[in-house]
Amino acid sequence: MSAEDTLLYLDGVSVSFDGFRALNSLSLLIEPGEMRAIIGPNGAGKTTMMDVITGKTRPDTGTILFEGKTDLTAMREAGIANLGIGRKFQRPTVFENHTVWDNLELALKAPRRPLKTLTYAVSRDDRVRIEEILDITRLSPKRERQAGSLSHGEKQWLEIGMLLAQDPKLLLVDEPVAGMTDAETEQTARLLKDIAGKHSVIVVEHDMVFVRELGVKVTVLHEGSVLAEGSLDAVSANQQVIDVYLGR
Amino acid sequence: MLTRFLLLGLDKKAGVLLAVLALLAVAVPVMALGTAPDSAWHLSTHTVALLGKYLCFALLALALDLVWGYVGILSLGHAAFFTLGGYAMGMYLMRQIGPRGVYGNPILPDFMVFLNWKELPWYWHGFDQFWFAAIMVVLVPGALAFAFGWFAFRSRVTGVYLSIITQALTFALMLAFFRNDMGFGGNNGLTDFKEILGFDIQAASTRVGLFVATVVALAIGYVLASSIVASKLGKVLVAVRDAESRVRFLGYETERYKLFAWTLSACMAGVAGALYVPQVGIINPSEFSPASSIEAVIWVAVGGRGTLAGAILGAVLVNFGKSYFTAALPELWLFALGGLFVLVTLFLPKGILGLAAQLRQRLPSRGAVAAKPADQKGV
């Protein structure tokens, strides 16, 4: 497949921190509309991969193209976000001093320049969209609550809701079910699968049950590069992957 | 659109504050000009100027609260913008003296004649016009803040490091303005003003006029700040304060937002300084001293950071305390100020207004609990 047909194209991306190679010539292709799970032991470079895609970290070498044409390595976080790449962090990061509604309003796709926000008024369409997201994430009864007072699981959902409000073409989701109960995990899997229809999603996750529930193509990272790729059953049977996970 | 924006800021708190300011704008002129000097209700010119000074400080505190309370930028150099605005006004007042100076030079201010200068430095031109000075009052602090913020925010300098640079900024300005060859009167600064807009600057009526102008400026500043923090831009500012990198990943260029609030705040501080100078009658480089900026931080902390009205309240209360203490127990004032800061930090982290809000929350919740036991039985 050529770079033009991909939504996200990483080729030979390397990053070092003080001599430690967090990413080692990583190559990865994501197709439009695809959902991909990324697994790998601690220190495999999963979070660093998200950092280089979203502009938080600059790669030392390598190419990162969005929609086959935009070079992300030269851009800053806000610019990349406005291209249509949204990110959910490992630890839920919401604006704790704002209400649930305001969190969604801030994330909602709208002009991002200061003077535009100064004179912004919630339009009827915006209101409908926020209501919709409140329903999807089941936060409707808590819309006026301060985000800081939500439970851990609710914060995770609010953050997913913020991603929906942003309406990105590609969502990067870092460990969405960490610290969730089984019921919440199941609901989150359903939520992500709903989203995957309209957007491309990359999910980083440790929880194998959750990854199985998603039922998508899996990429295994190890020491900053791709070790194996395929269905979860295929990669689980891969001898190299077993060795890495068992620490041999 | 503008009306809608300004209406955002007009909540209940704004109503109370504007009512108090309106009352001051009526009562002070009546008490100063409409009563006999021996009446118990009479306000002396000195008192009017003192009240005016408090309100100038309140405007400075308001400006500081906008950046500290809502964007999390702890500026330890806000007095720099205040003082620059003051100097711009002082230069206009110096040019108004004309031939009435000690040396009688129609163009050159006294200190320039004393230094044996032959002509006016280029940057003093235009200051004989009030409109020009008025523009400079806003433009000079604004431009400095813009340039400073542009570099600092783009390089992502935050927290303590940013505070230290702001402190260095005001200190550098102080050293520069102390130099005679800077052309701002050196050590002595600018003083001996005679007239403002053709009115005798010492006259009781002029003082009252300046006081009312300060009240108006404070009211406008409050409505502006309050509208901004109530708008979506204000929500972005608070989000930047609490989780800046998260805001970036939402696609907001946080540097621009910080720069907007920072520059606007500096302009407000400049206006405060410009109103301060004719009321106290002097501006000199000691206003740039780091301690002045730190005092402003204390006013905001005492009144309640991130409340706007609290900043105004804090500035007035602390300065009233200062006037009282420095007259009654001058050697104790600095201890009182230091102690106040420690006490507020320890016991009133949200300041006086924060305490008031807490008390208000506690009272109705007691009522709510009393009304609820019926529901709770089932649990």
pLDDT band at B364 (very low <50, low <70, confident <90, very high): low
CATH number at residue A211: 3.40.50.300
3-state secondary structure of A86: strand
Contact (CB<8Å) A93/B251: no
Tell me B129's DSSP state. S
pLDDT at B248 over 70: yes
User: Across residues B212-229, what is the average pLDDT?
Assistant: 96
- CA–CA separation, B234 vs A230, rounded Å? 47
Question: Going by DSSP bridges, is the β-strand pair A225-230/A20-30 parallel, antiparallel, or unpaired?
Answer: unpaired
Mutation for testing the B interface, residue in A117, A159, A166 having most B CBs under 10 Å: A117
Binning chain A into helix, strand and coil, the percentages to the nearest 5 are: 45, 25, 30
Mutation for testing the A interface, residue in B235, B249, B255, B350 having most A CBs under 10 Å: B249
Confirm if B223 and B10 have CB atoms less than 8 A apart: yes
pLDDT at B11 over 60: yes
* Whether B322 contacts chain A with CB within 8 A: no
Bridge partners, A93 (sequence order): none
User: Across residues B24-37, what is the average pLDDT?
Assistant: 92
pLDDT at B12 over 90: no
Nearest to A78 among B235, B239, B252 (CB): B252
pLDDT at B329 over 60: yes
- CA–CA separation, B61 vs B361, rounded Å? 26
Q: Whole domain around residue A27: which residue ranges?
A: 3-246
pLDDT band at B373 (very low <50, low <70, confident <90, very high): very low
Nearest to A77 among B242, B248, B257 (CB): B248
Contact (CB<8Å) A97/B242: yes
User: Across residues B109-126, what is the average pLDDT?
Assistant: 93
* Whether A162 contacts chain B with CB within 8 A: yes
The pLDDT profile of chain A, 248 residues, written as one tens digit per residue, is 577 789 999 999 999 988 888 999 999 999 998 999 999 888 888 889 999 999 999 999 999 999 988 999 989 999 999 999 999 888 888 999 999 999 999 999 999 999 899 989 889 999 999 999 999 888 999 999 999 999 888 998 899 899 989 999 999 998 888 878 888 888 888 888 878 778 899 999 877 888 888 889 999 999 899 999 999 888 888 888 888 876 65
pLDDT at B339 over 80: yes
- CA–CA separation, B192 vs B196, rounded Å? 12
Select the more confidently predicted residue: A5 or B29: B29
User: Across residues B296-312, what is the average pLDDT?
Assistant: 94
pLDDT at position A179, please? 79
Confirm if B303 and B312 have CB atoms less than 8 A apart: yes
Confirm if A172 and A163 have CB atoms less than 8 A apart: no
Contact (CB<8Å) A119/B260: no
3-state secondary structure of B210: helix
Confirm if B269 and B161 have CB atoms less than 8 A apart: no
Nearest to A107 by CA among B8, B244, B256, B252: B252
- CA–CA separation, A61 vs A58, rounded Å? 9
- CA–CA separation, A55 vs A53, rounded Å? 6
User: Across residues B337-357, what is the average pLDDT?
Assistant: 86
pLDDT at position A247, please? 64
Binning chain B into helix, strand and coil, the percentages to the nearest 5 are: 75, 0, 20
Contact (CB<8Å) A98/B231: no
* Tokens representing residue B179 in the block: 């130099």
| Domain boundaries along the sequence of chain B | 2-365
- CA–CA separation, B160 vs B164, rounded Å? 6
| The total number of structural domains that make up chain A | 1
* Tokens representing residue B210 in the block: 């300046």
pTM of the model: 0.91
- CA–CA separation, A69 vs B112, rounded Å? 64
Q: Please tell me which residue of chain B has the smallest CA distance to A113.
A: B252
